Every structure is written in C-alpha cells, then in structure tokens.
Amino acid sequence: MVQKALALPADGLILDLEDAVTVEKKAEARVTVTGWLKQLDFGRKERLVRINPLDSGYGEADLEATIPGRPDGYVIPKPRRAEDILAVAAILDRLEMLQGLSRGSVRLLAIATESPEALLNIAEIAKASPRLVALTWGMEDLSAAMGILQTRTGEGELLDLFRYARMMTLLAASAAGIEAIDTVFTDIHDLDRLKTESLEAAQMGFAGKLSIHPSQIDVINQAFIPSASEVQEAEALLQAFEASRAEGEGAFRFRGQMMDAPHVSRAKKLLERARYTGG
C-alpha cells in the first residue's frame, strides 16, 4: 500500500499511528513508519505522521520513535485546547535538540474539531504555536462524542453542526494566518458529491482537502488547481493594480468593476497556488 501511495499525485502522505493501528501493534507500527521515513523516496510529497493524543499514553512515544526519520510534520488528533498543542511543541523542542534539528523545523497540523470542547476552543488552538501551520477538522469523532447518529442529510449535505465546524475551522485558520484543510469525504464511491464539495472548499478559501482513497485524489486536485483562465485573470488584475499604484491610487477599475486590496490579495494567493500545483 505504501509503495502504491508513493506513486499517487498527492501533495503529502499521512502515516497513521492512531486510529489505523490497534493497541497491540502500536510499537511495531512506530518501527515500520520510521523505517519508511528513512528508506523510501517520497519525492516532493510532504511526510506527515499522525500520532496518538498525548493523554492516550502513546503520543510521546510516537514522537520519540519517529523523529529520527525526519518527518516534515505531525498530525495532532483530538486537541481540546491550546495547551495540548503546546505540550506537543515542548516535546519537539527537546527532540529536535537531541536529533540536531533546527528548533521549530518540524511542523504541526491539528485536527481541531474532534470534541465539543475543541470546537469551542478552536480559535485558541489555531494560535497556540508557531509550529502549527495548518488546521483541519473532523466530524466522526465529534459526532460520536455528542451521540449524533448521522452527519449528513439524505441528500448528502452536512448537518448544521458540521457546517459550523467547517466554517469555524476556516475562520480560525484565517485569523491565525495558517492554512485550512477541508476534511475527508468518506463515501469513496460518490465522486460527483466529492467534486462538488471540493470545488466549494476551494472557492471558500480552503488550501486543500484530505483524501482517504486513491480514487479521490484526481478529483480533489482538479478542484484546487487553478484553471488557465483563472491564472490569466489574476495576472491581468495584478497588472492593472500595478498600473494604478504607479499613479498613486489604491482602488482601481478592472473589467467594469472597482477593485482594491482584498481582490489583489486573492489574486496573489491564486497565483501562488498555481505555481505550487503547476496549474
């Protein structure tokens, strides 16, 4: 499976030590994952390890065992408050020093809505540490914690609570100046709904979307890679902005509409995403 994953057009791979591994296999899985990090060629893909929560009794051992593999970052599940992120960051401070790594070089991505407490504290979680570079959300654990029997309507739309969790993830990440990553879509057979949800996420400002199956990756990538016409539009807008700025004006007319700083910022972000994805 890992060999197949290395050939997929994903931006990163998450090597899971949490839900995908039984208690009896935790120690063995750490050895396996560290071996992959040391020996396999991931190319341009980010190498992320999803650890167990620290309060599970397994999280610190996950960090200690895998840090010699030099992962790009760790996925932190089930943080309830800022202190949970800070505790992971403190452990990494120590481990980076022991491994001869630059302090703060290992990044964090937090799954910030897996409990009611976490959702209520999401703004402080998002700003907890400079190591935290992205925020994503989850609804299965949240629904289980609250005794909610389903997460979507019969038509596949998110129920209100989970739409709220999605919006709060986007808002908290934006306020903290970090990326927001949309959650997984679990029905691997419904690629049409996945396409709709991915396009919506891209239009809302999410930087990407998590995938749980190889068949989903192309659909997600197409939603987030800017089209040639979008790139041309953004480039033309920036040219108009530069011309306006040369004349000492902040607001400017572009194709019949008035534009200012927010439009310029969106155009720059789109072009940055296009350069990264090759779009």
| Residues 139 and 245 occupy one common structural domain | no
| Residues 123 and 255 occupy one common structural domain | no
Name the nearest CA neighbour of 126 among 175, 87, 89: 175
Residue 133, pLDDT score: 97
Contact 205, 177 (CB under 8 A): no
Residue 13, pLDDT score: 97
Count: domains in the chain: 2
Chosen domain end from 224, 239, 269 = 224
The conformational region for residue 278 under phi > 0 = left, psi -120 to 50 = alpha, else beta, is left
| Residues 106 and 217 occupy one common structural domain | yes
Residue 278, pLDDT score: 60
Residue 192, pLDDT score: 96
Share of the chain above pLDDT 70, in %: 99
CA diameter of the chain = 68
Chosen domain end from 224, 244, 269 = 224
| Residues 164 and 257 occupy one common structural domain | no
Residue 93, pLDDT score: 98
| Residues 17 and 142 occupy one common structural domain | yes
| Residues 243 and 214 occupy one common structural domain | no
CATH code: domain of residue 194: 3.20.20.60
| Residues 34 and 165 occupy one common structural domain | yes
Per-residue pLDDT of 61-83, as tens digits, reads: 999 999 999 999 999 999 999 99
Chunked into runs of 10 residues, the chain (279 residues) has average pLDDT values of 94 96 97 98 96 97 98 98 98 97 97 97 98 96 95 93 98 96 96 96 93 96 89 91 86 88 84 73
| Residues 67 and 195 occupy one common structural domain | yes
Residue 263, pLDDT score: 85
Chosen domain end from 224, 242, 263 = 224
pTM of this prediction exceeds 0.85: yes
| Residues 134 and 234 occupy one common structural domain | no
Domain extent at residue 50:
2-224
- Sheet containing 107-111: which strands, arranged edge to edge? 12-16, 46-50, 73-76, 107-111, 132-136, 179-182, 208-209
| Residues 101 and 217 occupy one common structural domain | yes
| Residues 63 and 14 occupy one common structural domain | yes
| Residues 220 and 260 occupy one common structural domain | no
Contact 240, 254 (CB under 8 A): yes
Name the nearest CA neighbour of 77 among 147, 19, 13: 19
